[in-house]
Amino acid sequence: MTGGTVLVTSRSFGGGTVRCEDRLTGAGLTVVRGSTAHDLDELRPVLAETVAWIAGTAPITRDHLAAAPRLRVIARYGVGVDNVDLDAAAGHGVTVTNTPGANSEAVADLAVALLLAALREIVPAGRDVRQGTWRPRRGRELGALTVGIAGFGRIGRGVARRLAGFGARVLAHDPYVEQADVPLVSMKTLAGSCDAVTLHAPGGTTLVDAAWLARAKPGSILVNTARADLVDEPAVAAALRGGRLRAYATDVLADERPGGLLAPDLADRVLVTPHIGAHTVEAVDRMGQGATDAVLSALGLSGSGLSGSGGRAEGHHAAPR
């Protein structure tokens, strides 16, 4: 197959050091940037000519697919494919791929960074200095702690490797993992045994609710670089105010309004980053390379196959487990 349009709706595609777009145009394809929100009215004219779609996190619905009769592949720029109507894609003969592992190292780095920042109260300490206050804040050493990892896939294992370097004791919970190089325990055990817990599970299930928080060690720290719906945010806010949690450090929020976890009285105990887990130069390159490989492979064009350290794209014709 030659020619055709590749629709790109991922904001950071090609924003690293690898010129992924050049590989597509070099294969005879035309690259068109479109709405990152996947606004159907805006995308409809280009979808009519689109043979491949490198997509961000916004939903891709049955209506989008109906507007794209030539579409052969949706290459998700990232890991999750839950934003794509996989049944509709299969019905239209469209392959859906993702880039597993491409951002695992970046997210694992951020999880440990957030944990360290919470342990040493780095953000409020910096704010103190800017306000002319140089009082010390007494933190804790990571190597003295027991840290729980909820979700022991690529990212969870990456966090465990990093924690080992600090000398922390690590426990893990994952119902889909039968063997690991750290003890596997229940979520209840994580609550009662860990000084800090970091979440790396898929979304769709609330792991941290009021009951779990009631079992948590007083003064423990919770880190979330995975999905906002893994936690009951009002329950977390209550646990912070009541002293059950010392801090919540998160890269994701379900409620982004000024209240809730962003309330002024929680500013010293809630550390928030704007969903930056995958935003490193290296992760952007790996995701871009993986998505580009998936497009070229699905269209039967030369140039597929990674150069460098990208991750293999995985395809889906139906909903994954």
Active site residues: 227, 256, 275
Residue 297: strand, helix, or coil: helix
Pure H helices in the chain: 20-26, 40-47, 62-66, 86-91, 104-120, 122-130, 154-166, 187-193, 210-215, 233-242, 281-298
* The amino acid at 299: L
C-alpha Rg value of the chain to the nearest Å: 22
CB 3 within 8 A of CB 268: no
DSSP character at residue 15: -
Q: How far is CA 2 from CA 5, 45, 76, 241, 291, in A?
A: 10, 20, 22, 60, 18
